[in-house]
Amino acid sequence: MIKSKIVPLVWILAALLLPSLASCNLLEKDEADAQSGAQEQGNSITAVDVAIASPGVVEEAIEYVGTTKPSREVSLRSQVEGRLLSLSVDVGSRVSQAQVIARLDDSLLVANVNEAKAELAALESEIAQTKARVSNSRTQLERAKAELQEAVNNAQRYTNLAQQGAVTQQQAESFQTAAKVAEQAVLSAQEQIRSEEEAVAAAIGRVAAQKAVLAQEEQRQAYSQLNSPITGVVTEKVSEPGDLITAGGEVLKLGDFRSVKVEVPVSELDLANIEIGQLVTVKLDSIANETFTGTVTQIAPVAGDARQVPIEVTIPNPDGRIGGGLLARVNFQPQSNQNVVIPETALQEGKIFVVANAQENQQATVAAREVALGNRANGKVEIVSGLKDGERFVVKSGQPLKDGETVRLSILSK
């Protein structure tokens, strides 16, 4: 009896619960459909990689290898013969222009200077003596002229007296003879003065010549002190103290490292991309992770046997970090107008898509734009016009884009 009552009750409860369960299933299905629709809507927005336009070059930089050397190299040579007494510098020493860096034994040179001075003093004494003789001769000339005048007067007076008969003709002739003798004495005194004046002039010439000899000997003595001709660094010691140095013999080699030069042989095919004054980048194996800027300062007018043209690049080196003989890698960046350069993947049928109205949710609108293309190389293309430096553009998209389409910026976007 009890069992018969329980069974109808179960069926009644089941009938009441079935509509509720059906409604729950319908709600869950609606929510799932809504989420699926939202997901499909989100997935329909194309993801894109965005970059910022910037100037660049399409071609790869041309690299050549050379060796560094000082901008100027000089040899310090002795101008006189002598034994090297002292050398105050060593390889690597920094020197200033005109700095005394070596001395030669100058004992023989000093003796030559003293001898030249003694000879000069003797010649100057000879001039003084000759001038004194000239002065005496002039005094004698004045005396001879006075005697001549007196003799002429006496001869005239006695000639008149002889005509008057006051004296004999013989007496008058004796006074005339005395006048002629006095005249000859004057002429002789004048000739003596001329001769002695010529002697003075000759002595003055000898003194001038001896002064030149003395100056030369003093200069030779000064050459025993060797001064640096430049500001730079000692690169090689050729002689040591105690060596006998001949005139013109090399003592040291010096280099000016305030700037360094690199000479690289460049293929004639690349000369079109190189010009005087062009800036280049230089890397040194000895100074890692650092790049230097150099300038093309010389292009040889004649190519070598292998059709390679020597190019000289000068690199500023104010702190002297760059030495000589180092391996240098010189990159000649091709000359261009530095137009905007973009990856070829950014082009879609000759157009690019510029990003506009970027939003905080990483969504944006793209606008198609026609561009004028330049050179292409190495997966890059030059934009002559149509895209400016600093503008954002689509580099890569998951599918073809349309003008005005909404896109989603990827995490790789800039």
pLDDT of 240 = 94
Residue 11 within any structural domain of the chain: no
Tell me the C-alpha distance between 314 and 278, whole Å.
Answer: 11
Same domain for 241 and 96?
yes
Q: Is 26 exposed, middle or buried (0-12, 13-18, 19+ CB in 10 A)?
A: exposed
Same domain for 187 and 293?
no
Residue 156 within any structural domain of the chain: yes
The alpha-helical segments, DSSP class H, found in 165-234 are: 169-222
Nearest-CA neighbor of 365 among 380, 354, 377? Answer: 354
Tell me if 105 sits within 8 A of 82, measured CB to CB. yes
- The amino acid present at 222, given as its one-letter code, is A
Same domain for 218 and 159?
yes
Residue 241 within any structural domain of the chain: yes
pLDDT of 185 = 85
Taking each helix axis from N to C terminus, what angle separates 107-164 and 169-222, rounded to the nearest 10 degrees?
170
Tell me the C-alpha distance between 240 and 141, whole Å.
Answer: 69
Model confidence, pTM: 0.55
Instruction: Render the burial of 31-55: b for 16+ CB within 10 Å, e for the rest.
Output: eeeeeeeeeeeeeeebbbbbbebee
pLDDT of 337 = 61
Tell me the C-alpha distance between 282 and 259, whole Å.
Answer: 13
Same domain for 97 and 171?
no
pLDDT of 399 = 86
pLDDT of 182 = 83
pLDDT of 12 = 40
- The amino acid present at 171, given as its one-letter code, is Q
Same domain for 145 and 177?
yes
Same domain for 231 and 215?
no
Residue 28 within any structural domain of the chain: no
pLDDT of 75 = 95
Same domain for 81 and 112?
no
Same domain for 112 and 185?
yes
Same domain for 348 and 405?
yes
Report residues of the chain scoring pLDDT below 70: 1-43, 58-61, 334-337, 359-361
Same domain for 125 and 197?
yes
pLDDT of 150 = 85
Tell me if 52 sits within 8 A of 390, measured CB to CB. yes
Residue 158 within any structural domain of the chain: yes
Count of structural domains, the chain: 4
How far is residue 403 CA from its own chain's centroid? 55
Domain enclosing residue 79, as ranges: 72-105+224-245
Q: Is 102 exposed, middle or buried (0-12, 13-18, 19+ CB in 10 A)?
A: buried
pLDDT of 8 = 45
Residue 13 within any structural domain of the chain: no
Same domain for 96 and 119?
no
pLDDT in tens, 4-39: 444 444 434 444 444 444 444 433 444 444 344 434
Residue 280 within any structural domain of the chain: yes
Largest CA distance in the chain: 228
Residue 23 within any structural domain of the chain: no
CB within 8 A of 354, min separation 6: which ones? Answer: 366, 367, 369, 387, 391, 392, 393, 394
CB within 8 A of 127, min separation 6: which ones? Answer: 200, 203, 204, 207
Same domain for 113 and 211?
yes
Q: Which of 187, 212, 245 is the last residue of a domain?
A: 245
CATH of the domain at 52: 2.40.420.20
pLDDT mean across residues, the chain:
84
pLDDT of 35 = 42
pLDDT of 220 = 92
Phi/psi of residue 309, each to 5°?
-105, 125
CATH of the domain at 96: 2.40.50.100
CATH of the domain at 283: 2.40.30.170
